[in-house]
Structure 1
């Protein structure tokens, strides 16, 4: 068994690059501020993998010692940094990156607030909650 941690939201700059690229398996879905807010939860710190750090470092050292691999990795990182800089140099994407920074981190709603939001969802529409948060008719007060 393996535990895989996939971070859909790494940083505002990386997200701007992701937005320009689009989603690989959902071309109909916008990569927008809502996409960021729905995934930017940094509320749980899990250091259980820390015990594997020495073994991971050893494997990484063996991999980067393979001919050409370290150079390829550095080229990839250089491309990503340059692409982020190129994207953010445009007014529209600079504004978007600024919005990401202003949005900050997301946090889970308290159970009573989540229940209030769920109660606003129209019943009988024949579709499941496929997107959170649903667009409310009116938002409950805090």
Structure 2
């Protein structure tokens, strides 16, 4: 993570309510209260916070490399690489990782295709949790042949998987037989296992859905653009990125309606550590100030002109396609 302080607590609370026993977070070159928040959560035993040394491979892949040395990673039964803008919704059993694993008891890996959520015409940054505020998404049913990237929950079994990857684990050399499925049990074909990063046509959303809020609000996007990309050391975020991830075709409030459990968890954290709430407020202030500064950048002004003055979600999508 880098400069994500305004969003961390809701994200941590959400994955704790899903049943994550350990959350390992690496940060690098932070300018906002991200590190302060994570140090407090580390002291409370809620996360394992580490400072990452970024190598040529970029921030994200460097963090995965260092994570291999972490006891919480090494000793885990199951592993999932997931970012602060990704919220998993599990729709089977009691909505926890364990229920999903029980439903796919013979699986070694379960991949969750993204469902991309757009900015829904929202411009500012507030304290409302991301899954409650952004409820416009791409269609559940994809177009014929459409592919969607996934993230993968997998057994920490060295006879089958050698190391973590951003989207899926790498296969071990001469690996044992692997059962790899989508959340609803649909198998990933053996011939696709070595290099698959996405699936086509069927996504298994009936059992679980990985909501990907790559943009959030306009101001959040401007902050992200100023921060830079996690997978590419010198990569930039331009208009094409906005167009790719601003999907507002359908309303989906399912996760929003069930987010009360994560909010309750967050409130318990506040009760345990009063300074945590203050740190969260400071992170929100930083994000808003940073966005105001970003708006003055000439490139940001061009971007704001391109997206229009006050476009409604569907109008924004149509305008960008045109």
TM-score past 0.5 threshold: yes
Between the aligned partners of 1:95 and 1:21, the Cα distance in structure 2 is: 18
Between the aligned partners of 1:66 and 1:101, the Cα distance in structure 2 is: 44
Map 1:48-67; keep pairs closer than 5 Å.
48-67=254-273
**Structure 2 residues not aligned, in runs of 5+:** 1-99, 101-207
Indicate which of 306, 309, 315 corresponds to 1:99: 306
TM-score, normalised with respect to structure 1: 0.63
Displacement of 1:80 in angstroms is 0.6
Residue equivalent to 1:33: 239
Displacement of 1:40 in angstroms is 0.1
Displacement of 1:55 in angstroms is 2.3
**Structure 1 residues not aligned, in runs of 5+:** 108-132, 134-142
Indicate which of 197, 206, 219 corresponds to 1:13: 219
**Structure 1 residues 48 and 98, CA, compared in 2 at 3 Å: closer, same or farther?**
same
In the comparison of the two structures, how many residue pairs are matched?
Answer: 109
CA contact (8 A) 2:307 2:316 kept: no
Indicate which of 234, 238, 248 corresponds to 1:42: 248
**Structure 1 residues 86 and 61, CA, compared in 2 at 3 Å: closer, same or farther?**
same
Between the aligned partners of 2:260 and 2:227, the Cα distance in structure 1 is: 35
Indicate which of 258, 275, 282 corresponds to 1:75: 282
Q: How far does the alpha carbon of each residue in 1:1-45 deviate from its partner, in whole angstroms, 9 at most, with x for none?
A: 364422001122111111111111124543111110111001122
CA contact (8 A) 2:222 2:294 kept: yes
Residue equivalent to 2:90: none
Indicate which of 221, 230, 236 corresponds to 1:24: 230
Residue equivalent to 2:292: 85
| Higher relative contact order, structure no. (Cα contacts within 8 Å, ≥ 6 residues apart) | 1
Q: Provide the alpha-carbon RMSD of the alignment.
A: 2.7
**Structure 1 residues 101 and 13, CA, compared in 2 at 3 Å: closer, same or farther?**
farther
TM-score, normalised with respect to structure 2: 0.30
Higher helix fraction (1 or 2): 1
**Structure 1 residues 51 and 19, CA, compared in 2 at 3 Å: closer, same or farther?**
closer
